[in-house]
Amino acid sequence: MAYDFVTVKDLLAGGEHYQDKNLKLTGWVRTSRTSKNFGFIELNDGSCFKNLQVVFEDTLSNFEEIDKVSIGSSLEIKVTWIKSLGDKQPFELKVDEISINGFASLDNPIQKKRHSFEFLRTISHLRPRTNTYMATFRVRSIVSFAIHKFFQERGFVYVHTPIITSTDAEGAGEMFRVTTLDMNNLPKDGTGAIDYSQELFGKPSFLTVSGQLAVEAFCFAFRNVYTFGPTFRAENSNTARHANEFWMIEPEIAFADLEDDMRLAQDMMKYILNEVMTQAPDELDFFNKFVDTDLLSRLDNAVNSDFATITYTEAIEYLKKSGHQFEYPVEWGENLQTEHERYITEEIFKKPVFVIDYPKEIKAFYMKLNSDNKTVRAMDLLVPGVGEIIGGSQREENYEVLHQKMLATGIIPEDYEWYQDIRKFGSFPHAGFGLGLERAVMYLTGMKNIRDVIPYPRTPNNILF
C-alpha cells in the first residue's frame, strides 16, 4: 500500500483533507507511555512546536520493540487518518506500522522531566530537542527573517561589512586579535617588538566589534542600508545579557535625523513583534505559560502603544523625583546604571522607552553634537525585562567637527582617514542604530539568559562546541 509523506504541521492544519488517506510520518519520540496492550507515543518531527500523539496496539508485529522505544529514537510511522468518534480531537490516526530508524541510547540525558537551563547549556548539541529551546530557536529564525523582510520591503540594501578589520578600537570594546603568526615563535623586529609586517595582512587585524563605520560609507551611495551579521567583543563579561559572539543589525539611513531614526526603530520593533505573534503563537503560549507569565501582555502592550521618549536630562529628573533608593547615585553627567534603566522602563513607563540626548562625554565620538554643545543626538531603546536593546544616534556629518571630536576623545584621526573622508565628498545628515539580535529574542521570548538564545553560546570560559 502506498503511504504519502506528511509533516505534523500539515497534518494538524489539514483537517478532513486527509480523511481515509494512508500517511507516512517521520520524527523523534518525545515521550511514550505504555500499558499492557497498547501505548502512546508523542512524536515531534521538527515541522512545528506541537507533538503528535499516536496510539499503537499490540496488534503491531513489533509491539514488544515499540513498547520499549526510548526518548529521542527516530521513527517512521505509517498510519491511516480516520475521523474521530469522540469529540476531544478532530481525528485519530490508526497506526499500521512503526519502524525504528535509530534507537536512542538509554543514557540520553534528555528525559521526560524538567531540566535546568544550566544543565542543558552543558549539552548544547542536544538541547534543541527540548520544548524551550525548540521554541526559542524557531523564534530566533522568525525574527531574523522578519528583520530582513522589514528592511527589504522598505528598499534598504543589505551590506556585508567585513568580519576581519584592521582598525583597532572602533570605540565599542575590546577586540579579538586575528593572527597567522606562530604564537610560540613570534617574529621580532630590531627593537624586540613583534614584527607585524609578517602577518598575512602585513599588519595587526581583529574581529569586528561593529559594522557601523563601514556601512556608513554605503549609506552615502544607497541611501538606506543595513548590516546583519556576527559581532565579536573580547570583554570578560559575565552577565546574562553579554556574549563574546553575537549577532547585530545595524541600519543606516540617509537625509535623516534622530527622530527619523527612532521612528525606524519603533516601526522595526513592532514589525518583528507582529511577525512573531502571527507565526509562532504556539511558541509564545508556551513561553507565557512556563517561562514568563507576563510575556503576552507585555508584547501586546508594546505593539499597541507608542514607545515613550524622554531626554537623558528628563530621565535624571524622573529618577531623582521617584523617591526610589538606588544603589548608585543619580547624577547628571554619569552613565545611567542598569538599575536606573530598568526602573525607567519597568516602573515609570511600563513599556519601551527611548532615552535621547546624552551628555557627549559618555557617548561615542561619531555622534552629532546638539546646539547646547553639551549633549549628543544619541538614543537608547530600553525595554522591560531586558534593558538596553538598541543603541543609536544621528551621526556627526561635519568633517571638521568630527575631526575635532576625535582629537578630543583620544581617537587617532589617521586611523580613521577613510571614515572622515566620506564626509568630504558630499556630506549630509544621517543616522542609524544597532539592534542586538539576542536581546530582541530575549525580549520576545521572556528567556532571561543570552546563553539560552544562541545555539552555541560563546562566553568567558565557555566554547564547548
Partner RNA sequence: UCCGCGAUAGCUCAAUGGUGGAGCAUUCGGCUGUUAACCGAAGGGUUGCAAGUUCGAGUCCUGCUCGCGGAGCCA
Q: Under the rule (CB under 7 A), what is the footprint of RNA?
A: 31, 33-38, 40, 42, 53, 55, 68, 70-71, 88, 92, 106-107, 109, 111-116, 118-119, 121, 172-173, 210, 233, 235-244, 246, 248, 328, 335, 337-339, 341-342, 387-391, 434-436, 438-439, 448-451, 460-462
Taking the least distance from each CB to RNA, the nearer of 180 and 325 is 325
Taking the least distance from each CB to RNA, the nearer of 186 and 464 is 464
Taking the least distance from each CB to RNA, the nearer of 55 and 412 is 55
| Cβ(299)–Cβ(343) below 8 Å | no
**Smallest gap from residue 441 Cβ to RNA (A):** 11
Taking the least distance from each CB to RNA, the nearer of 78 and 448 is 448
| Separation between Cα atoms, residue 268 and residue 282, nearest integer Å | 23
Taking the least distance from each CB to RNA, the nearer of 236 and 274 is 236
Distances (CA, A) of 7 to 10, 18, 155, 194, 448: 5, 12, 35, 59, 32
**Smallest gap from residue 198 Cβ to RNA (A):** 30
**Smallest gap from residue 240 Cβ to RNA (A):** 4
Taking the least distance from each CB to RNA, the nearer of 111 and 197 is 111
| Cβ(31)–Cβ(70) below 8 Å | no
Among the listed residues 447, 441, 452, 450, the one whose alpha carbon sits nearest the alpha carbon of residue 141: 441
Residues 6+ apart with CB under 8 A from 170: 208, 209, 210, 213
**Smallest gap from residue 426 Cβ to RNA (A):** 26
Taking the least distance from each CB to RNA, the nearer of 84 and 305 is 84
- Helix orientation angle between 281-290 and 437-445, rounded to the nearest 10 degrees: 70
| Separation between Cα atoms, residue 252 and residue 430, nearest integer Å | 7
**Smallest gap from residue 185 Cβ to RNA (A):** 26
**Smallest gap from residue 290 Cβ to RNA (A):** 10
**Smallest gap from residue 161 Cβ to RNA (A):** 14
Among the listed residues 319, 294, 461, 455, the one whose alpha carbon sits nearest the alpha carbon of residue 386: 294
Taking the least distance from each CB to RNA, the nearer of 14 and 171 is 171
150 torsion bin: left (phi>0), alpha (psi -120 to 50), beta (else): alpha
| Cβ(15)–Cβ(96) below 8 Å | no
| Separation between Cα atoms, residue 160 and residue 214, nearest integer Å | 9
| Cβ(268)–Cβ(143) below 8 Å | no
**Smallest gap from residue 233 Cβ to RNA (A):** 4
- Collapsing DSSP states into helix, strand and coil, what is residue 105? coil
**Smallest gap from residue 340 Cβ to RNA (A):** 8
Taking the least distance from each CB to RNA, the nearer of 96 and 339 is 339
| Separation between Cα atoms, residue 421 and residue 53, nearest integer Å | 63
Among the listed residues 353, 379, 383, the one whose alpha carbon sits nearest the alpha carbon of residue 367: 379
What Rg value do the Cα atoms of the chain yield, rounded? 27
Identify the bridge partners of residue 245 per DSSP, sorted by sequence position.
232
Taking the least distance from each CB to RNA, the nearer of 195 and 346 is 346
**Smallest gap from residue 391 Cβ to RNA (A):** 3
Distances (CA, A) of 460 to 54, 238, 244, 248: 44, 7, 7, 19
